[in-house]
Amino acid sequence: MAQMRFQPRVGRYLAAAAENVVSILDVETQACRHSLQVSGVFFHLCEWNQDAQKVKVIFNCILSLFVNVGANWIQSCVFTNIFYLL
C-alpha cells in the first residue's frame, strides 16, 4: 500500500509513504527534501494537517511521525505509542 498527499492550499510539497519509508518531495524542483526509513514497521496513514505545515504518518498504530515543513527547513519527530501493563 502506498499513499501520496499534496500539501493543501500551498501545493509546494508532496508527502509520499510506502511500506516503511516516508519522503517529502519539493514539487517545483522535483527534489527529495526529506526521507525517513523506519525499520520493522509499515505505515497505515499519511495526511497533512489543516494549516498545511505538518505531515502525520502512523505506522502499525504504535509509532507516529510528525514532519514540520517550513519555508527553508524540515524537522521530524517520532513518537512511540506503546503502553505497558503492570
Other CB atoms within a 10 A radius of the CB of residue 14 amount to: 18
What pLDDT does residue 69 have? 72
| pTM score, whole prediction | 0.71
Sorted by where each begins, the domain ranges of the chain are 2-80
Distance CA 42, CA 86 (A): 28
Q: Assign domain 2-80 to its CATH architecture.
A: Beta Barrel (2.40)
Phi, psi of 60 (to 5 degrees): 45, 25
Residue type, 86: L
Buried b vs exposed e over 26-59: b needs ≥16 C-beta within 10 Å?
A: eeeeeeebbeeebeeeebeebebeeebebbebbb
pLDDT at 2: 83
Strand partners, 45: 58
For the chain, list residues with pLDDT below 50.
Answer: 83-86
